[in-house]
């Protein structure tokens, strides 16, 4: 499968410059983030993708949308692939509001408040990644799947630190990266 980190968000822009949480709830993509999503469309259009899974955060949905349009595929929302809850940007948008903003996406399986109330321990994202890895490994067509996710989840899946708009192939049948330490 391919793991794609969402394009640059308003949070990423401000946090990179200041190293302080700017306090933006469920940030949207910046113009650069939209350009990164367009670059992903160009790069992944011929990858033989047949499924798109996305985190319910707006930045991931905005990254997945042009790929879904270009490939003629629906977006399946899965909160398991969301970011580790650690900053204000990890407060999401309630599912009823997401459904109004994204009428072509099915949010019916999503709880109204789908993000945790408190900062998650690092182990929780490792556990989610292990669960997702096992679910994907059981699918015969896992290699045809694009997952639009976040830095922390992709790190938990691969052990790699990747930038906005970057992607990595990930074999869920291969051993998970071992001895991952919380990022500093």
Question: Given a cut of 70, is residue 184 above it in pLDDT?
Answer: no
Exposure string over 46-71, b if 16+ CB within 10 A, otherwise e: eeebebbbbbbbbbbbbbbbbbbeeb
- Separation CA 152–CA 161 (nearest Å): 8
pTM of the model: 0.96
Q: Is residue 184 part of a domain?
A: no
Q: Is residue 174 part of a domain?
A: no
The CATH number of residue 157's host domain is 3.40.50.1240
Kind and range of the H or E run holding 145: strand 145-149
Q: Is residue 9 part of a domain?
A: yes
pLDDT in tens, 129-172: 999 999 999 999 999 999 999 999 999 999 999 999 999 999 99
Q: Is residue 153 part of a domain?
A: yes
List Cα–Cα distances, 163 to 84, 112, 143, 149, 159, in angstroms: 16, 30, 22, 12, 13
**Range of the structural domain that residue 59 is part of:** 2-169
Q: Is residue 181 part of a domain?
A: no
Q: Hey, what are 17's tokens?
A: 């410059």
pLDDT in tens, 4-28: 999 999 999 999 899 899 999 999 9
Instruction: Give the count of domains, the chain.
Output: 1
Q: In whole numbers, what is the pLDDT of the chain averaged over residues?
A: 95
């Amino acid at each position: 499968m391919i793991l794609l980190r969402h394009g640059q968000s308003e949070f990423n822009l401000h946090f990179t410059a200041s190293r302080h949480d700017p306090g933006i709830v469920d940030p949207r993509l910046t113009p650069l983030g939209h350009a990164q999503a367009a670059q992903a469309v160009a790069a992944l259009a011929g990858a033989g993708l047949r499924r798109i899974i996305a985190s319910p955060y707006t930045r991931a949905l905005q990254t997945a949308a042009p790929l879904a349009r270009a490939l003629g595929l629906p977006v399946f929302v899965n909160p398991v692939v969301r970011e580790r809850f650690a900053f204000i940007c990890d407060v999401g948008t309630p599912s009823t509001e997401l459904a109004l903003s994204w009428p072509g996406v099915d949010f019916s399986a999503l709880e109204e408040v789908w993000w945790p109330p408190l900062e998650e321990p690092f182990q929780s994202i490792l556990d989610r990644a292990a669960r997702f890895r096992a679910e994907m490994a059981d699918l015969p067509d896992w290699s045809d799947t694009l997952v639009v996710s976040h830095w922390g989840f992709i790190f938990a899946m691969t052990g790699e630190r990747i930038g906005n708009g970057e992607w990595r192939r990930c074999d869920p049948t291969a051993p998970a990266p071992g001895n991952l330490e919380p990022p500093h």
